[in-house]
Amino acid sequence: MTANIPSNSVQEPTVNLAHDILDVQTTSCCIVGGGPAGAVLALLLARQGIGVMLLETHKDFDRDFRGDTIHPSVMQIMEELNLSDRLLQLPHAKMRQIQIQTPNDTVTLADFSHLKTRYPYITMLPQVKFLEFIITEAQQYPTFHLVMGANVQELIEENGVIQGVRYRGQGGWHEVRALLTVGADGRHSRLRQLGNFESINTSPPMDVIWFRLPKKPEDAEGGMGRIGRGHILVMLDRSDSWQIAFVIPKGGYQELRVAGLSALRKSIVNVAPELSSRIENLHDWSQVAFLSVESSRVKRWHHPGLLLIGDAAHIMSPVAGVGINYAIQDAVVAANVLTKPLKAGRVNERDLAKVQRLRELPTRIIQTFQALVQKLIFTRVLNSDQIVQPPGFLRLPILRDLPTRLIALGVFPVHVQT
């Protein structure tokens, strides 16, 4: 029968009846969510001989318009795992600067080329390729098990401790019993909902629509931000195409739809005139993906037997594309802290609290930085019908160094210890 879960612990399961469980499996760590945080954590634990089961609700890793930016901090982690050289053999592009261009000027917000690292750039690599690469590496270890199409519906709670999950897939209900359950299931985390975690929410004054346009051979590598009259557009290099983010005021998507695609195309060309020769490739709303921008973090990342990491614990805004990298750093810290307790067969709340303690301050700092950028640039542009110039202090190289390091490397260095 479904456990009776206290209201101050986790949410009542959505199905309050006995299930015909097809099978019950046991493992040391059950990770829900096959994104960057979950995949990297699974690999790190499997390398240590720890039993780990990774549950992914979809049947493949191919999601359009997921973040595709791998920052120097993650490339250094890949190097520590002896994976960086092979990873860079995959088709990718490099972004050495983050620049914003207005009709009158170009301002460099971050210049990674001066960083003292083997990877002085942001690696632009489709996330699906990164995830497939990490999963393939993890599958070399016999203690790693991957289940695709596993839709987690319930937490198993006994005596106040989470003991695993129940999921639907492959023709019925399945149960996974685990010493530790990790929620790495993204910004719409099912485990965050089931665990009744309390969030601190902020609502940035913007949303984003995503679409692709062809890339020409003569186009520059990397990417560029553009500021026009009341609009911001970001172009990200995807080798044979540009992935384009068009920033709109919060709640403005329906107004955009009513105005029609022709009005959208005109606004895009006004901001980036060089796209005029290919803008007709955007001819249907099905080509457009909508992202409601959020920024939040849960107050407490854990319950007994349950830990949240990555976007499940802290939703990042898309500013500077740091979400993947902070999620992977969460995974590395979690592996560093929890490997020994998992091997010993006993994980207590002090261990889980230590993960939060090591990762909460960096999360709060980067979210504060993102909010500041949104206030100084995005809000000013979206609320004006004039050309808004980026703040003058951003032109001083000495004042670019701090955000450059913050974006590229994070607040504190994170290294693989296990």
Are residues 287 and 299 located together in one domain of the fold?
no
pLDDT(47) > 70: yes
| pLDDT given at position 346 | 96
Q: How far is the CA of 276 from the CAs of 209, 214, 287, in angstroms?
A: 18, 11, 17
In this structure, is residue 50 part of a structural domain? yes
Is the per-residue pLDDT at 15 higher than 70?
Answer: no
Is the separation of the CB atoms in 162 and 4 below 8 Å?
A: no
Structure confidence at residue 2 (pLDDT): 36
Q: Are residues 82 and 150 in the same domain?
A: yes
Same domain, 189 and 137: yes
- Same-domain pairing of 362 and 321: yes
- Are both 192 and 239 inside the same structural domain? no
191 plus 69 within the same structural domain? yes
Query: Mean pLDDT highest for which of 52-66, 93-107, 211-225, 342-356?
Result: 342-356
In this structure, is residue 322 part of a structural domain? yes
Residues 6+ apart with CB under 8 A from 399: 393
Q: Which pTM was predicted?
A: 0.91
Measure the CA–CA gap between 210 and 153, rounded to whole angstroms.
Answer: 30
Given 354, 376, 398, the domain boundary residue is 376
- pLDDT for position 394: 63
Task: Give the Cα separation of 165 and 405 in Å (integer).
Answer: 39
Q: State which residues form the domain around 81.
A: 21-92+123-202+295-376
- Parallel, antiparallel or unpaired: strands 207-214 and 232-237: unpaired
5 pLDDT higher than 60: no
Report the Cα 415 to chain-centroid distance in Å.
Answer: 19
Domain-terminating residue out of 271, 291, 311: 291
User: Would residue 98 count as lying in a domain?
Assistant: no
Same domain, 82 and 137: yes
State the DSSP string of 136-149: HHHTTSTTEEEEET
Domain contains 113: no
Q: What is the pLDDT of residue 6?
A: 35
Q: Across all residues in the chain, what is the average pLDDT?
A: 89
- Max CA distance (Å), the chain: 67
Q: Are residues 70 and 218 in the same domain?
A: no
| Percent of the residues in the chain that have a pLDDT greater than 70, as a whole number | 92
Region of poorest pLDDT, from 2-11, 64-73, 182-191, 289-298: 2-11
What is the per-residue burial (b if ≥16 Cβ within 10 Å, else e) of 142-162? Answer: ebbbbbbebebbbbbbeeebb
Same domain (yes/no): 242, 128: no
User: Cβ contacts of residue 181 below 8 Å, gap of 6+?
Assistant: 29, 30, 31, 32, 155, 162, 163, 164, 165, 191, 305, 306, 307
51 plus 192 within the same structural domain: yes
Inter-residue contact 414 to 73 (CB < 8 Å): yes
Task: Report the SS3 class of residue 180.
Answer: strand
Residue 299 lies in a domain: yes
Residue 382 has φ and ψ, to the nearest 5°, of -65, -25
> Which of 13-22, 79-88, 400-409 has the weakest average pLDDT?
13-22
211: confidence class by pLDDT, cuts 50, 70, 90:
very high
pLDDT band at 388 (very low <50, low <70, confident <90, very high): confident
pLDDT of 74 over the 80 cut: yes
CATH classification of the domain holding 287? 3.40.1840
- Read off the CATH number of the domain in which 152 is found: 3.50.50.60
The predicted pLDDT at position 66 comes to 64
Name the domain count of the chain: 2
User: How confident is the model over 336-382, as pLDDT tens digits?
Assistant: 999 999 999 999 999 999 999 999 999 999 999 998 888 888 888 88
The mean pLDDT of 270-289, rounded to a whole number, is 94
pLDDT score, position 396: 66
Q: How many CB atoms lie within 10 A of CB 203?
A: 12
Same domain as 141, residue 62:
yes
Is residue 416 pLDDT above 90, yes or no? yes
Average pLDDT over every residue of 100-118: 86
- Would strands 232-237 and 223-227 be described as parallel, antiparallel, or unpaired? antiparallel
In a domain, 401, yes or no: no
Would you state the pLDDT for residue 324?
94
Q: Is residue 75 part of a domain?
A: yes
pLDDT of residue 223: 78
Q: How confident is the model at residue 239 (pLDDT cuts 50, 70, 90)?
A: confident
Kindly state the percentage of the chain with pLDDT values over 90. 67
Q: Are residues 273 and 231 in the same domain?
A: yes
Q: Is residue 88 part of a domain?
A: yes
Q: What string of DSSP letters covers 187-217? A: TT-HHHHHTT--EEEE--S-EEEEEEEE--T
